[in-house]
Each structure stands twice: as C-alpha cells, then as structure tokens.
Amino acid sequence: MQLKILRRTPQELKLEIEGEGHTFCNLLESVLLEDKEVEFAGYDVPHPLVSNTILSIRTKKGKKPEEALVEAIEKIRQRGRELSQEIDKALEMWMQKKGPAQK
C-alpha cells in the first residue's frame, strides 16, 4: 500500500491509496463518519481495473483531517483486536462443548 497526498488544507485531506479498493475504504469511511468532528468522508474508485482509491476527508474547525484519519485507523485496529478475542472465546467454548473425543 502506498499513499499519495493529492490535496491538503487545514480542514481537508485528499489521498490516493494504491492497492486498496472498496473493502478497506468502505470500512475507513464508515469509521471516519462516526466522528462528530468529521463533516465529510468519502472515497472513489476511479477505475474498476486499477486498485487506486481516492479518499477525501473534511473536518470541522479545530480538528485536522489527519488526526481524524489516525483516530479512525486506531478504532479499526481496536475493533479487530476485540473481534479476534471474541472469536477465540467462542472457539474455546465450542471446543469445550464438543468434548475431547470430538475435537
């Protein structure tokens, strides 16, 4: 993954993300929009055969768009850790119910 800054102002950030498409960018957009200080977050995949996505973020005064981006990425990481822990718990409970003979 490579990033290229296309536009940067105090309240706006526009990035080209090479090698990413809808899966990652849709998640990132959703988490960015949970932030009350983010006025706009969206992405565009200009060409369906090239995985270069354009991500745009606009924040309210007082918050830099890169701060919102870093916070969103940290939320995604935390949710991934929580999901992993819950999967481990569920698998452990399932294995206990199955008993040693059926593992």
Residue 54 in contact with residue 79, Cβ under 8 Å? Answer: no
pLDDT band at 103 (very low <50, low <70, confident <90, very high): low
Find out whether 92 and 55 touch, Cβ atoms under 8 Å: no
CA distances (Å), origin 79, targets 3, 44, 70: 23, 24, 14
Q: What are the residue boundaries of the structural domains of the chain, listed by start?
A: 2-102
Q: How far is CA 14 from CA 39, 71, 99, in A?
A: 14, 17, 53
- Higher local confidence (pLDDT), 14 or 22: 14
**pTM, two decimal places:** 0.83
DSSP character for 100? Answer: G
Contact call for residues 67 and 35 (beta carbons, < 8 A): no
pLDDT of residue 1: 84
Give the model's pLDDT for residue 26.
94
pLDDT digits (tens, 9 = 90+) for 46-97: 877 777 899 999 999 999 999 999 999 999 999 999 999 999 999 999 988 8
- Assign domain 2-102 to its CATH architecture: 2-Layer Sandwich (3.30)
